[in-house]
Structure 1
Amino acid sequence: MMMRKNLSFRQKLILSYFSIAIIPLAVLGVFAFNQSTAALKNQAVGNSKNSSETMHNNLQYRLKNYNNIMDIMSFNTKIQQLLSNHYTSPAMMIGDIKDFLEPLMSNLLNFTDEAVQLTLYTRNGLPEVGTYLLSEERLAEEVWYKKEKPDLETRWIADERYLYAVRTIIDMYNTSSLGTLVFKLDKSLVFGELGNLASRSYLWTMSGSDQRIITTDSNLPVNTMELLITAASSGEQVFKVDSRKWLSVSQQITGTDWTLKLLVELNDIYEPSSHILQAALFIILGCTAILLILMAIFSHSLTRRIETLNKAMEEVEAGNLNVKVLTRGQDEISAITNKFRKMLKRLNQMLISEYQNNIVQKELKLRALYNSINSHFLYNSLSTINWKAIRSGVEDISEMTTNRSTYYRTTLNHGREIISVRDEISNVQAYLDIQLMMHDHRFRVEYRLDPAVFDYDTLHLILQPVVENSIKHGLEDLAGTAGIIRVSAVIEEQMIIFLIEDNGPGITPERLEELNRFESKGYGIRNVDERIKLFFGPQYGLSLSSEPGKGTKVKLSVLAYKENTDMKNEIMA
């Protein structure tokens, strides 16, 4: 609603015509895009399900062959006789191993390319023969092995490179365990070439309830893989991860706790539909361009004078009150233009009068602020001089009187508001010399003055209130440490920067924020800040910085000003 109110008349006119033409075209484009996207999605789901079914069947077939090999070894009577070790002659046992067991296991290994090793782990004291026949004690040394209850079913275990088909061989006559059969397979060959994968498709085999990855052909980042595994549940599902759509097809592998997951990134599959969308957009944009040209020509004839008047108003808003507004005709737009011209003339007259009044008010306010400076220091100093004369003699009176004379001269300044920077510094030096005598030299004063500042003038009596504040609040409460007052003055970018520093107890952050907003009851530094801003402008003034326990800094920034250049009138303007 607010946006519509802020539109120009011409924009509203164009927008109304544009809406009437563009809405039907947009609806048609969205409909075509949705239909094509739905068709592509159905096709992708069908193809992915077929691929998943093919790969599932191929893997199931391979696992069945491996189980057949396990059955041949587990239920062979001669192998059971060998593992039972009921031989009366060692020669007969060795003959069965060499003439029967080794050829059988060698042939079974050669039966499939994925086979790496076929091993019988026996517990009846049979001799170890290569990798075919080993003691069951060696099985515990394998990292992948977990001892479980004897089971006629094949258990599948996976590590980084291999799959292990593990089965307990049970005596068919007394159901006791004769040993363990382990069929070691190359994992990359077992899961390789299960079927053709489409572009941006990934096949994962998961194990157990914790969905541990057995194998994957994915080169996706680990965090992306974890997000996909978490999001993809059982069955068929479409979900979104990191603003990209995925299709998941999951199938359980019979005889194992494995799940075969096929994940297909749908964004690339939907790409053909983007061509349809691009064509629709091209048509819409072409029609829109033609429509905009016609609307611009028609609306221009209606809104030209309104725009001219609006531009004149913008110039007035920017500060140009001398803009000329011309019009022809007797219609409503011409009447508004004539009234605006008369209003502008009247406004100029009022601003001239207001400007003159402001100059007078600023002069009066500057004088009032100057006269409001507290004079209690003069009376306190006179009392101190009298006390020192009684206690110390003529020498101290002479020194105090000299400093007082300098202070009076620079403070009164013949009633003028402007003083040279040199005299303003002299005023502070005289004040500090008097304070040193009053405080028995319990602090010291350092001056860091750029000689270039003495070429300029400034408002007088802006430093003394700040120095007085530093002594009163910064040094009088200082115990056990020699106090320091540092007075600095430098020129930076057409400004004179005065810096008054002390090593007093500092100011808390809350109190400092209050002082910088000049919300304190104290009048001295607020008076100085207001005088500087009134004379030089709001970009100048006074600011404080402090850290508890490290002292306080007061920064005064004023214009690098020379009275004889008549800058004051420029600033006041």
Structure 2
Amino acid sequence: MVLPPILILGLVAFFETQALFRRDQERVFTEQIDHVTAIANRNIEQVDRSAQALTFNTGLAVFFETDYAGTSGIYGVYEALRDVFDPSISYTVGINGMIQKVVFYTDSPQAGVRENIISLREQNVPRYIRQYRMQEDPQWIKSNGRLYVLSQFPDATRVRTIVALEIDADLFQKQVVLADNTVQTGLYQGSRYLFGADIPAATGNRIRTVHLNNTDWSIRGKAQPAGMTKYGRNVILVMAFFLCLSVLFVVLISRFFTKQILGIIDDLRLKVQAVTNQDFNVDFHSDQQDELGNLSNLIGTMMESIKRLITEVFQTKIYKQESEYNALVNQINSHFLYNTLSMINWQAIMSGNEESSRVIQTLSTFYRTTVNNGRAETKLKLEINNIQAYIALQLYLQPKLFTVTYHVDDTLLEYSVINLMIQPLVENVIEHGFQKLPKDAHIDLTVKRSGSAAMTITVADNGQGIAPEQADQILEQNTRGYGLKNVDRRIKFYFGEQYGLTITSKPGIGTQATIKLPLTSTIQPASEEYDVLAALAHGRHE
């Protein structure tokens, strides 16, 4: 029983050592790539400065723009070559050992006076010169195994002149390409391979791509797998030695404590076995301050909770039987009332009293949807029928007391809701919101979606309103809420704490009561535990 944890610890230590070794390799790999990138960026920057020094050289610009045939003739060309052109080229090549050759491609009359001054109109002008377009930074290209850096004299000149610096490709490659047992690098232009190691584009700790400054070139590096170093092997051997010592020590210590622990566990086992034989009076109390003592005390606390829950479940069963009986009585009484109302309605029709017939039919609809055969669940369309019947009866009793508008999303009518949850809201408006009846008293009932999985039912009025602190207390415990507290409690009982009733109000403007419900086709209590406790609370306090 002791060896598995020790072996696991050894394996963890081994893999951690391996991980440390890999992290060290990754650090070296990153440092090497950064070093090569820094060298490449420095070389590019130096060559770029040399190219820009030539293209922004005013003496060279004047040389290429001047028509010496109309001024000083051949001697003027000679002086310009001697005093301006040759010194500029010599300085550029001499200061940067990576530049092998400088060539100018130009529309200038001076094209052809030197071997490295070539007319752009010649047929043998390289393709990359013809395709070149002026850019802010010099352009690096590779053609036929050679490296070139291209830059153009500014557009302010009257002739087009492109300077091409030929770079020592071997020297540049030696400085930026690594090829050893640990790291390989290659140079790319976008996805095009230039030279060095041809490394496939990928991501991960072993392949890294770094873009070079002022170019569309990048360096791609790949770390080569390497074996464990001598240092790593020594660490493993030392850890294995200490693991063996740990195993021996743990075996000796475990044998010492095993007898004591087994005695306590055996005593606890006998007590639990007595409980399984339905002896709930076993005393699990322990004065020990260790884990086993705490476990014994926790089991004792659990047994007290089990005994209490058994009593509560028994009481809940009694309450459920009483509720089923009451629902049956209500159903019997409702059938009697429906038959009576139907007879009265028929007599009113026979006597030609259509107004009385409509009132009786409305009353029958209201009573049928209110009783709902003793069930808590109903459809939204039946709940809307109930509140419409209730409001119609109120207006029969007090014509022109208020006006009402309905805004109901027809796509929600078949969803299940709790029976008799809108009527208390409207009754609260009539009895309290319209105590000081305004001239244009109005109730607005709106049913709409709230997101993709919920709906809201809002009853708004333009009555006298209530103070904000009173609105906050309406739904609190032991506060008179005109039936609203019961509506909120029933919603939370069936759907959970995220749903329920909220009330907002402004004195002199009106009150808005909003019910939030989930979109569901069946209704079940939020949880069995909540069902039992809620039923008990209902039976004790209602």
With the length of structure 1 as denominator, give the TM-score of the two structures.
0.38
The alignment's TM-score, normalised by the length of structure 2, stands at 0.40
Larger Rg over CA atoms = 1
